[in-house]
């Protein structure tokens, strides 16, 4: 029997899952909800969901690892999603990704040591008219160059530090 601790987050998940006990068809809905609560899917939550929906943890893992939206590790404060759709590719989206990874010192999918940014890619944000595009958190930035992308990311650091945004080449 997997029991989840008694905290507000875990209780939210427990309450939501209880509506779908034994209904494995609701798995994706439950995973969406749980990731919404924690920002990722911790192992104990995966086991709990499996138990409540009446499937094995490996089945749950099979489903969540199939869809690229779900993750099993926490992410940084801001998620940077560089669009690598066709229009962005043609307009140099890869260069944006390489530059950000390089300057932040992470690989694709990785999180910076200070926990500020996780750098990911996305298939297509559907803002092809503004290519190349990236999202930082929920903000969309278009018409990027590697330099402009880096300046935007620097801006988040400066905002965090509460200092004025410096002019930069």
- DSSP calls for 64-94: HHHSTT--SS---SEEEEEE-SHHHHHTTHH
The binding track of 46-65 with respect to other proteins, each residue x by CB under 8 A or -, is ----------------xxx-
d(CA 137, CA 97): 16
Residues that bind other proteins (rule: CB under 8 A) add up to a total of 49
Which residue in this structure is represented by tokens 């669009």?
A: 83
Q: Are 79 and 41 in contact (CB under 8 A)?
A: no
63 CB-side CA count, 13 A: 18
75 makes contact with other proteins (CB under 8 A): no
Which residue in this structure is represented by tokens 């560089």?
A: 82
* In the complex, minimum distance from the CB of residue 25 to other proteins, in angstroms, rounded to a whole number: 4
Select 103 or 113, whichever has its Cβ closest to other proteins: 103
Select 4 or 28, whichever has its Cβ closest to other proteins: 28
Q: Is the dihedral of CA 122, 104, 135, 89 positive or negative?
A: negative
21 makes contact with other proteins (CB under 8 A): no
37 makes contact with other proteins (CB under 8 A): no
Binding-site member from 3, 21, 32, 113 for other proteins (CB under 8 A):
32
Select 57 or 92, whichever has its Cβ closest to other proteins: 92
Binding-site member from 16, 40, 98, 152 for other proteins (CB under 8 A):
98
* In the complex, minimum distance from the CB of residue 168 to other proteins, in angstroms, rounded to a whole number: 9
CB burial class (10 A; 0-12, 13-18, 19+) of residue 154?
A: middle
Which residue in this structure is represented by tokens 């940014």?
A: 117
**Residues facing 117 on adjacent strands:** 78
Q: Which residues here bind other proteins, judged by CB under 8 A? A: 24-29, 31-32, 62-64, 66-70, 84-92, 95, 98-99, 102-103, 122-131, 133, 138, 140-142, 145-147, 169
């Amino acid at each position: 029997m997997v029991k989840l601790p008694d905290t507000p987050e875990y209780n939210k998940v427990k309450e939501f899952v209880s509506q779908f006990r034994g209904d494995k068809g609701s798995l994706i809905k439950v995973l969406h909800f749980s990731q919404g609560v924690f920002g990722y899917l911790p192992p104990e939550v995966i086991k709990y969901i499996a138990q409540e929906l009446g499937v094995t943890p490996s089945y749950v893992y099979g489903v969540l690892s199939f869809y690229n939206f779900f993750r099993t590790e926490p992410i940084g404060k801001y998620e940077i999603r560089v669009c690598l759709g066709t229009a962005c590719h043609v307009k140099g989206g890869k260069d944006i990704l390489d530059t950000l990874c390089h300057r932040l010192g992470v690989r694709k999918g990785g999180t910076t040591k200070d926990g500020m940014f996780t750098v990911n890619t996305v298939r297509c944000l559907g803002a092809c008219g503004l290519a190349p595009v990236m999202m930082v958190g929920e903000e969309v930035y278009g018409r990027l160059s590697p330099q402009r992308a880096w300046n935007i990311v620097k801006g988040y650091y400066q905002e965090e530090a509460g200092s004025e945004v410096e002019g930069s080449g």
